[in-house]
Chain A
Amino acid sequence: MPTASRHIRLVLFVLAGLACLAATLVLLGQRQNLFGASLTVRADFRNVSGLLTGNNVRLAGITVGTVKEISILNDSTVRVVMHLNRDVQPHVRKNAVASVGTDGLVGNTIVNLTAVAAPAPLIADGDVLRTTTPLAIDEMLQTLSVSNKNLVGITQDLHQITGKLNGSRALWELLGDQHVAANVRQSLRHLAGATATLQTSATDISQLTRGIRQGRGPAGYLLTDKDFAGQMRHATRQLARSTDTLAGTLGSLQRQVQTGAGPLHTLLTDTAMSGQLRQTLGHVEQGTAGFNQNMEALKHNFLLRGYFRKQAKKKAQAAGQ
Chain B
Amino acid sequence: MFNGPLFTEFRAMAGFAGRFLREGFRPRYEWLELANQCYAIGYQSLPLVGITSFIMGLVLTLRLRPTMVQFGATSWIPVMVGLTIIQELGPIITGLMVAGKVGSSIGAELGSMRVSEQIDAMEVSGTNPFKYLVVTRILAATLMVPILTLLADAIGLGACYLGINLQGVTSVALFTNNILGRLTFGEVLPAVGKTFFFGFAIGLIGCYKGYNADNGTEGVGAAANSAVVLASLMIFLLDLVAVGVSTAFGFI
Contact = CB atoms under 8 A, between A and B. Distances in A.
Given A13-B42, A28-B183, A7 B35 contact: yes
Interface residues of B, number: 25
13 contacts: A6-B35, A6-B43, A7-B35, A13-B42, A13-B151, A17-B150, A20-B154, A25-B185, A28-B185, A28-B188, A31-B180, A218-B71, A218-B73
Interface of A: 3, 6-7, 9-10, 13-14, 16-18, 20-21, 24-25, 27-28, 31-32, 54, 215, 218
Given A10-B42, A31-B181, A215-B72, 5 more contacts: A6-B35, A6-B39, A10-B43, A20-B151, A20-B154
A32 B36 contact: no
B198 to A, nearest CB: 14
Contacts of A14: 38, 42, 147
Contact of B185 (A3, A10, A32, A215): A32
Nearest to B143: A14
Nearest to B73: A218
Contact of B151 (A3, A6, A16, A27): A16
B148 interface: yes
Instruction: Tell me the interface secondary structure of chain B in the complex.
Output: helix
B109 interface: no
B229 interface: no
B180 A28 contact: yes
B183 to A, nearest CB: 6
Contacts of B148: 17
Given A17-B147, A20-B154, A218-B72, A10 B35 contact: yes
Contacts of A20: 150-151, 153-154
B147 A18 contact: yes
A27 B150 contact: no
A47 to B, nearest CB: 22
